[in-house]
A and B are shown apart, each in its own frame.
Chain A
Amino acid sequence: MKKTTLLFLCALLLFLSPVMFAGGKQEVKAETAKITTMNVAVPALPEPLTVGASTTQARYRVQYNIFNNLIEFDFKGTKGFMPSLAESWKRIDDRTLELKLRKGVKFHNGDEFTAEDVAWTFSDERFFGEKPIVGHTRARGYWALFDRVEIIDPYTVRIISKDTDPLAVNRLSLPQFQIINKRAFQEAKSYEEWSNNPVGTGPFKVERFASGDQLVLKAHEQYWGGKPYVDTLIFRSVPEESARIAGLMAGDYQVISNVSIDLIPTIEQEKNLAIEGGPIASFLATMFNIKKPYMDVNLRKAMSLALDRELIVKNLFAGRTKIPNGINDPGYADMYVKDHPYPKYDLAEAKKLVKKSAYKGEVIPYYILNDYYPNEVNVAQTMVEMWKAAGINVQIEIKENWAQVNADETEGVRYFGMRNTSNTDTFGDPAGCLWRTYNKSYDPYKVLGWRGPLVDEFMELGKVLDTSVDQKERYKAFARMLEIYDEDPPGLYFYMNLSISAKQKSIDWTAYKQVYMYFGPENFKQ
């Protein structure tokens, strides 16, 4: 009896001893001058790391820390396009952009960056050919007009397009077109080996990548932009949001990403924590399935008028995001159509339009994913009630993935009456957003039946956006495209998507107006 008790107590003591004597949490030293180790908790890590293999948020979150573009976009401010690995650039003609490369830039392996690396990054063999090593050609969709790179000398290159490309500079700032080291790529035993240990010129080099667990980056002491403020940067995959927040509160993480709106007050209650981020350059929207007989233009306009967007933003986003005036962003600078009207809320007008429409009370299946976008399900449920008030019967169906969303009913007609999407602004110009997502290659025109004279006009105007170098002509075309979107809507836009992070207040890091999380020296107050 006594021995049993003793045995039991010993066993209990043995297993609980680490708890009782565990001496503090893991070592994270945030010194005044420099951060030794910074832990950043994110929902997922990219697989693999290399540039151009896929276009996922998980990749974009970490990628800017490892690689540089030839030209950068100012995601924090309003400077627009800034020199990066290219110190300057000029147009030789409508198809040719000449770039002077920065001298003395070192890759993580010590190699000096030259025109050879640029040519290899954009080569047919690696990226733009019929069978590129990268595997599939997703990223090429962002530069269909690309033709070739010509090396003029080791520090001068010309990028030549197949046709007039007024957006070559914008495209060079995309994460798909970051520069990699030619020698390291070619010397890697396999593409897989390269993919998980890529070599770039960014402020951090890859030390260890354990897929699905952590990505350990070390400061690149020879970084051309200055010595990194952080010695070791660790991105940790922590899928559960409550665990990310608890880890932040416990001091295990210095920064976390993907914070839900409803958990912001919990974080704000903590004196040593702060919220970062806000609206990003991405419009939450739906696409209509215009092939459904009931989905005529009156019903589509009514669905927009029935939505009280301000109420949604106020109550479901605590006023932290904003409603845009069209798929149109102030970040476009001289291309921003300031006078384009904001969407109206007019329930009486919506009811009138429903009566005029071909809609006779059919159930409209509304496909969404389970909070793929922030607060997606709550917003959808709210909107369903608003539509109901206008006499429109929308029914939410939550799908597991895009394949289920895009399943066909019969003869190429999708099941859904409408579905959520996001129109992300990829490079600070309407050509990278409204035109990229509503041109003939994309779903509204290709599979959802968005056709007619106005749509034809829209497609012609889009070509002006793509090929004209006259900015006034482009502005006029874009302004008219916004009007057409409202007159014959292929979808609805609601509000700007959000990207909310949280951090220890002691960390002088600020979030971009994008999902990208950059920890280079330029992004810390020193």
Chain B
Amino acid sequence: MHITYFLGKIARALFTMVLVVTFVFVVLRATGDPAQAMLPEDATQQDIEHFRSMWGLDKPLYEQYGVYWLNILKGNFGQSYRDRRPVTDIMAERLPKTVYLMTLSIVFAVIIAIPMGVKAALNRNTFIDRFTMGTAVFGFSMPNFFLGILLILLFSVKLKILPSSGSDSWKHIILPLLTTGLAYIGSYSRFTRSSMLSVLNKPYIRTAIAGGLSRNRVIYGHALPNAAIPVITIIGATVGRIIAGSIVIETVFAWPGVGRLLVTSVGARDLSVVQAIVMLLSITIVTANLIVDILYGILDPRIRTKKGGV
């Protein structure tokens, strides 16, 4: 039963990835000729034909598609049209930067947001509740490109204590981390608060309090684990979007990650790079969803005992 469940999940994930890559493969070619996007506007016909033949773009689409998948099965994701380097090398250069930034942002947000949400729930309708939720709404609703620029103006231009962009040292990560983290804090803390509020009204919490359990035991031993399901869902969704979510931040702070690479590669129709990033995007989203499913089962025993549960 468990194996069937996992195999089904994996098959569905693979199918999703194949669909996404196929869609991107067709759409990128349908919306513009990479030769014309890559070469200067006054490139000669000879240049264009040379480019097409060099990258196999003169072959029928189905043949290009077949060759693409055959190469992937051999572990070859192709070469960048721009600098002819293997896509795997480019990704190996860029991916750690994005993962580093986004993972730290999520960890930062979790550490701040969950206590914030719990605190707000426990002090419902008080000043603390309104203040923390006001802060959360501010973080959540502030466009990150705007917040990023404001932080640069404050910490780099006025106070001159942090670098405005780049990724050379640990100082460079602080502003992008704050910008991304504040938005996540807003989202996570609101979910934590509302989830805690609904759990705190459940009969088993009242029973636990009536039974004489300490306040901390009730909150952290009974309420929080049960309130965690929706929070885990939203964190899972964030993890799945770490690459897509980094595009704006990486552009504002000149952070050399995969998000920026995606933007420049789409503009230049650097097909191999775009396809590899899209595949990576779908893998992260699918994997994050799978992990969330598993965590549901761990946090709530009722889920793993249901049909098809883990």
Interface residues of A (CB under 8 A from B): 1, 3-5, 7-8, 11-12, 14-15, 18-19, 22-26, 41, 44, 47-48, 54-56, 135-138, 141, 191-192, 195-196, 210-214, 236-240, 242-243, 246-247, 249-252, 400-406, 421, 437, 441-443
Choose one: A1, A12, A401; the contact of B36 (CB below 8 Å): A401
Choose one: B35, B156, B162, B165; the contact of A238 (CB below 8 Å): B165
Choose one: B42, B170, B252, B261; the contact of A243 (CB below 8 Å): B252
Taking CB atoms, residues of chain B closer than 8 Å to A26 are: 163, 166, 168-169, 171
Choose one: B39, B93, B164; the contact of A210 (CB below 8 Å): B93
Choose one: A1, A19, A136, A242; the contact of B149 (CB below 8 Å): A242
Q: Is there contact, CB below 8 Å, between B42 and A442?
A: yes
Does B50 interact with chain A (Cβ within 8 Å)? Answer: yes
Taking CB atoms, residues of chain B closer than 8 Å to A195 are: 83-84
Q: Is there contact, CB below 8 Å, between A212 and B261?
A: yes
**Can you list the 6 inter-chain pairs with the closest CB atoms, starting with the nearest?**
A213-B256, A403-B36, A250-B156, A403-B32, A48-B83, A47-B83
Choose one: B112, B163, B251, B261; the contact of A240 (CB below 8 Å): B251
Of B61-69, B113-121, B190-198, B283-291, which stretch is located at the interface?
A: B113-121
Closest-CB distance, A490 to chain B (whole angstroms): 14
Taking CB atoms, residues of chain A closer than 8 Å to B167 are: 213
Q: Is there contact, CB below 8 Å, between B163 and A243?
A: no
Beyond A210-B93, A402-B37, whether A24 also contacts B216 by CB under 8 A is no
Q: Give the distance in Å from the alpha carbon of A26 to the alpha carbon of B181 in the complex.
A: 23
Taking CB atoms, residues of chain A closer than 8 Å to B82 are: 47-48
Beyond A19-B174, A210-B93, whether A238 also contacts B36 by CB under 8 A is no
The 17 sampled A-B contact pairs (Cβ below 8 Å) are: A15-B108, A15-B112, A18-B171, A19-B162, A22-B171, A47-B82, A48-B84, A135-B50, A211-B83, A214-B166, A236-B254, A238-B166, A243-B165, A246-B156, A249-B156, A401-B267, A421-B41
Given A15-B177, A243-B252, 9 other A-B residues pairs in contact with their CB atoms under 8 A: A48-B84, A136-B47, A211-B85, A213-B254, A237-B254, A238-B165, A239-B254, A249-B157, A252-B165
- Could you tell me which residues of chain B, from 243 to 299, have a CB within 8 Å of some CB in chain A? 251-254, 256, 260-261, 264, 267, 269
Taking CB atoms, residues of chain B closer than 8 Å to A135 are: 50, 54, 84
Closest-CB distance, B75 to chain A (whole angstroms): 18
Does B161 interact with chain A (Cβ within 8 Å)? Answer: yes
- Closest B residue to A443 using CB positions: B42
Kindly state the interface size class of chain B when it binds its partner: 35 or more
Closest-CB distance, B33 to chain A (whole angstroms): 5
Taking CB atoms, residues of chain A closer than 8 Å to B253 are: 243
Q: Is there contact, CB below 8 Å, between B160 and A25?
A: yes
Beyond A135-B84, A141-B47, whether A25 also contacts B260 by CB under 8 A is no
Does B102 interact with chain A (Cβ within 8 Å)? Answer: no
Q: Give the distance in Å from the alpha carbon of A421 to the alpha carbon of B40 in the complex.
A: 11
Does B94 interact with chain A (Cβ within 8 Å)? Answer: yes
Closest-CB distance, B64 to chain A (whole angstroms): 17
Taking CB atoms, residues of chain B closer than 8 Å to A23 are: 161
Q: Is there contact, CB below 8 Å, between A19 and B155?
A: yes
- Closest B residue to A20 using CB positions: B161
Taking CB atoms, residues of chain B closer than 8 Å to A210 are: 93, 256
Taking CB atoms, residues of chain A closer than 8 Å to B178 are: 19
Q: Is there contact, CB below 8 Å, between A24 and B37?
A: no
Taking CB atoms, residues of chain A closer than 8 Å to B162 are: 19, 22, 25
Interface string of B141-166 (1 = CB under 8 A from A): 00000000100110111001111111
Choose one: B32, B112, B155; the contact of A12 (CB below 8 Å): B112
Taking CB atoms, residues of chain A closer than 8 Å to B111 are: 11, 14-15
Does B46 interact with chain A (Cβ within 8 Å)? Answer: yes
Taking CB atoms, residues of chain B closer than 8 Å to A4 are: 115, 118-119
Q: Is there contact, CB below 8 Å, between B161 and A24?
A: yes
Beyond A138-B43, A401-B267, whether A8 also contacts B119 by CB under 8 A is yes
Q: Is there contact, CB below 8 Å, between B41 and A400?
A: no
- Could you tell me which residues of chain B, from 22 to 56, have a CB within 8 Å of some CB in chain A? 31-33, 35-37, 39-44, 46-47, 50-51, 54
Q: Is there contact, CB below 8 Å, between A25 and B163?
A: yes
Q: Is there contact, CB below 8 Å, between B157 and A246?
A: yes
Q: Is there contact, CB below 8 Å, between B156 and A8?
A: no
Q: Specify which of A22, A136, A141, A400 lies most central, judged by the most chain B CB atoms within 10 Å of its CB.
A: A136
Q: Is there contact, CB below 8 Å, between A18 and B152?
A: no
Q: Is there contact, CB below 8 Å, between B39 and A138?
A: yes
Does B80 interact with chain A (Cβ within 8 Å)? Answer: yes
- Could you tell me which residues of chain B, from 202 to 219, have a CB within 8 Å of some CB in chain A? 215-216
Q: Is there contact, CB below 8 Å, between B171 and A403?
A: no
Taking CB atoms, residues of chain A closer than 8 Å to B50 are: 135-137
Does B90 interact with chain A (Cβ within 8 Å)? Answer: yes
Choose one: A191, A243, A441; the contact of B254 (CB below 8 Å): A243
- Closest A residue to B216 using CB positions: A3
Q: Is there contact, CB below 8 Å, between A192 and B85?
A: yes
Q: Is there contact, CB below 8 Å, between B32 and A401?
A: yes
Choose one: B37, B153, B161; the contact of A22 (CB below 8 Å): B161
Taking CB atoms, residues of chain B closer than 8 Å to A15 are: 108, 111-112, 177, 181
Q: Is there contact, CB below 8 Å, between A441 and B44?
A: yes
Q: Is there contact, CB below 8 Å, between A239 and B260?
A: yes
Q: Is there contact, CB below 8 Å, between B254 and A238?
A: yes
- Closest A residue to B178 using CB positions: A19
Choose one: B42, B168, B264; the contact of A44 (CB below 8 Å): B264
Taking CB atoms, residues of chain B closer than 8 Å to A405 are: 41
Q: Is there contact, CB below 8 Å, between B256 and A252?
A: no
Q: Is there contact, CB below 8 Å, between A237 and B256?
A: yes
Choose one: A8, A48, A137, A213; the contact of B47 (CB below 8 Å): A137
Beyond A195-B84, A196-B83, A240-B252, whether A18 also contacts B166 by CB under 8 A is no
Q: Give the distance in Å from the alpha carbon of A47 to the alpha carbon of B256 in the complex.
A: 14
Q: Give the distance in Å from the alpha carbon of A25 to the alpha carbon of B31 in the complex.
A: 44
Taking CB atoms, residues of chain B closer than 8 Å to A239 are: 251, 254, 260, 264
Q: Give the distance in Å from the alpha carbon of A404 to the alpha carbon of B54 in the complex.
A: 22
Q: Is there contact, CB below 8 Å, between A138 and B260?
A: no
Closest-CB distance, B140 to chain A (whole angstroms): 18
Q: Give the distance in Å from the alpha carbon of A155 to the alpha carbon of B178 in the complex.
A: 59
Q: Give the distance in Å from the alpha carbon of A177 to the alpha carbon of B215 in the complex.
A: 78
Beyond A18-B170, A252-B166, A437-B42, whether A47 also contacts B156 by CB under 8 A is no
- Closest A residue to B219 using CB positions: A4
- Closest A residue to B149 using CB positions: A242
Taking CB atoms, residues of chain A closer than 8 Å to B112 are: 8, 11-12, 15
Q: Give the distance in Å from the alpha carbon of A238 to the alpha carbon of B115 in the complex.
A: 36
Closest-CB distance, A213 to chain B (whole angstroms): 3
- Closest A residue to B164 using CB positions: A247
Taking CB atoms, residues of chain A closer than 8 Å to B165 are: 41, 236, 238, 243, 247, 252
Taking CB atoms, residues of chain B closer than 8 Å to A441 are: 44
Taking CB atoms, residues of chain B closer than 8 Å to A252 are: 156, 163-166
